[in-house]
Structure formats: C-alpha cells, structure tokens
Amino acid sequence: MDGQEQFEALIAADARVEPRDWMPEGYRKTLVRQISQHAHSEIIGMQPEGNWISRAPSLKRKAILMAKVQDEAGHGLYLYSAAETLGTPRDRMTEDLIAGKARYSSIFNYPALSWADMGAIGWLVDGAAICNQVPLCRASYGPYGRAMVRICKEESFHQRQGFEILLELARGTDAQKEMAQDAINRWYAPSLMMFGPPDDDSPNSRQSMAWNIKRFSNDELRSRFVGMIVEQVQVLGLTLPDPAIRFNAETGRWEHGPLDWEEFREVLAGRGPCNSQRLARRREAHEEGAWVREAAAAYARRQNATEVA
C-alpha cells in the first residue's frame, strides 16, 4: 500500500493518523488551521477573565478564577504542541496571531463587564466549548484527539464553576439576580455563534467531517447546546433572551431564534468590540515575555551541553 492508500484505510477504519504517517497536504493544512486557531483562542481567552482576578469578590473565588485562567494557558500549550507535530513551529503560529493574520474564537472579542460575566462565560462559553470539543476527542489526528481528552475534563470544571457563580447570584439580592440575568442576556447569542456559521455557509465542514476531524456539523452542535442550556437555565431560575427556542420533533433538533450573522462577520473581520484591545494586549505580553523565552532557551542549551559532556 502506498501512503495515500494507507491514509484512506486509516480514515475508513476510523483509526488514528499519527505524525509519522503519510497524510495529504490538505489534511495537514486543515489540522494546522483548526488546531492553531483553537490554541490562539485559549490564549486570547485568558484576557476577559484575567481582568477580573484582582476584582474577584472573595479569596476563594479569586483562587478558583486564577486556576481556571492558568488551565486555559495549559490548553493553549497542549494545542500548540499538537500543531507542532504537523511541522509548523509555534513561533510562526504566534507571529501570525500577533500580526493579526490568524483567527481565534469570535467570543473573546466581547467585553466582560461585571462579576456575573465570569459566571456566564463559565456556563455558556465553556459549555459551548465542551459541546464542540467532546467530539474532537475522537478526531482522527492522534495528538489532537489526545490533547482534547484532557482539555475537556478541565472544561467541565470550568463550566461547573461558572454555573455555580450564577446560581449563587440568582439566589442573592434582586440586584445580584439582575446582574446574572444581564450577563446571560449579553453572552447568549455570541456563545451560539462560537459553533461557526450555519451549515450552508460553512466551507470547511464537509471535508473536515469526511476526514473524521469534525464529527458533527456546526448547526447540529449548536442545537445540542441549546437543548442543554434550556434545561439548566430553569435550575438558575433565570431566562434565555430568546423566546423562539423550541424543540422540533420532526427534525429531533432544538431550534433558536435568528442570530445576527452580520455581527459575526464583523467580529471575524477584526471589527468586534474588543478585537484591537485583545491583540494589542497579546502583542505586549509577547514582547514583555521575550526575556523568559531567551532564558529558557539558554538554560536548554546549557542542559544539552552538560548531557553531551
């Protein structure tokens, strides 16, 4: 069997493709695109919550939020490492990000305005991430699927902590309840858009699904997410800002009201509420971290020299 045949046999058997295996250039490119975008999302995603660490309402909340933000950094690192096994160095991925040439999730271009946003981000944003990412644990590319297993475990904790923040606010004073509702109202639609454009407008889905990278379409996963939160919001005693939500018994799917896809396109084009701020902060952090990278590289060189000697 030649490389192409071997690759096709692995995909047909729903088996794993490993870095040493031959793979079509398109498959490699798709993976680098998706995994690096995902890594960038984790790293940029530290910002909206990182801004609230110093304003957390108690020591316990501060410790939890700090752990969560650190987890996101870890997720970024696993994902950059997975992408590197495909031959693209991390430096290049980072350069593309800070030059504004790479994508990262639309969701992180919205501002976190109140403490309740920490709850809404955990519950809705990490909830959407779990819905989207659990199937990626079965992605055909081995290093990606394995990284996703650990990431999903940690995301579950993130989602629970967000839900718990909202639950406590929802059971608090009227002002706290109002703050929780306001956060849900603002994060609901952007979290639905995280799943990507509608299926008819998703140029990559068909091929990614044929290669067993994506397992479900954007709309299928979005509908599952709506079904999940429509029940959970009742436990909170709050509401979703979408009176059109309904279960369609014929299609077996949850349906939601119209989303503003023009807004989504604007955010992707770099014109969302926080795009320039997020990139500027990332660029600044990269520049300020140069000495750490230099020190780590010098240490690694010294270790290597000692081992050789």
- Alpha carbon distances (Å) from 43 to 31, 97, 273: 18, 10, 18
- Cα 119 from Cα 186, distance rounded (Å): 12
- Cα 22 from Cα 304, distance rounded (Å): 31
Question: Phi and psi for 143 in degrees, rounded to 5?
Answer: -60, -30
159 touches ligand 3HC (CB under 6 A): no
Residue 282 CB, shortest distance to ligand 3HC, in Å, is: 14
Residue from the set 16, 28, 33, 138 that interacts with ligand 3HC by CB under 6 A: 33
Residue 268 CB, shortest distance to ligand 3HC, in Å, is: 5
Which residue, 154 or 168, is less far from ligand 3HC as judged by CB?
154
* Residue 208 CB coordination number (10 Å): 21
Which contacts of 162-165 are long-range, i.e. CB under 8 A and separated by 24 or more positions? 162/118, 162/119, 162/120, 162/121, 162/122, 162/123, 162/124, 162/125, 162/126, 162/127, 163/119, 163/122, 163/123, 163/232, 163/236, 164/119, 165/61, 165/115, 165/116, 165/118, 165/119, 165/122, 165/123
Residue from the set 117, 126, 219, 242 that interacts with ligand 3HC by CB under 6 A: 126
Match 């709850």 to its residue by tokens.
Answer: 119
Q: Which range, of 101-109, 230-238, 251-259, 276-284, touches ligand 3HC by CB under 6 A?
A: 101-109
Which residue, 182 or 263, is less far from ligand 3HC as judged by CB?
263
# binding residues, ligand 3HC (CB under 6 A): 29
* Residue 111 CB coordination number (10 Å): 13
Which residue, 265 or 301, is less far from ligand 3HC as judged by CB?
265
204 touches ligand 3HC (CB under 6 A): yes
Residue from the set 81, 114, 202, 232 that interacts with ligand 3HC by CB under 6 A: 202
Match 């290049």 to its residue by tokens.
Answer: 92
Judged by CB under 6 A, the chain residues 230 through 269 that form the site for ligand 3HC are: 268
Which residue, 209 or 300, is less far from ligand 3HC as judged by CB?
209
278 touches ligand 3HC (CB under 6 A): no
Judged by CB under 6 A, the chain residues 64 through 93 that form the site for ligand 3HC are: 72
Looking at 194-247, list the stretches that DSSP marks H as alpha helix, in order from N- to C-terminal side. 205-210, 218-236
Taking the CA atoms of residue 151, residue 155, residue 156 and residue 162 in that order, the dihedral angle to the nearest 10 degrees is 170
- Alpha carbon distances (Å) from 48 to 53, 113, 114, 124, 189: 10, 9, 11, 14, 17
Which residue, 215 or 286, is less far from ligand 3HC as judged by CB?
215
Which residue, 178 or 220, is less far from ligand 3HC as judged by CB?
220
Which residue, 2 or 25, is less far from ligand 3HC as judged by CB?
25
Which residue, 254 or 264, is less far from ligand 3HC as judged by CB?
264
161 touches ligand 3HC (CB under 6 A): no
The residues of the shown chain that bind ligand 3HC, judged by CB under 6 A, are 33-34, 37-38, 41-42, 45, 72, 103, 105-106, 125-126, 129, 132-133, 193-197, 202-205, 208, 214, 218, 268
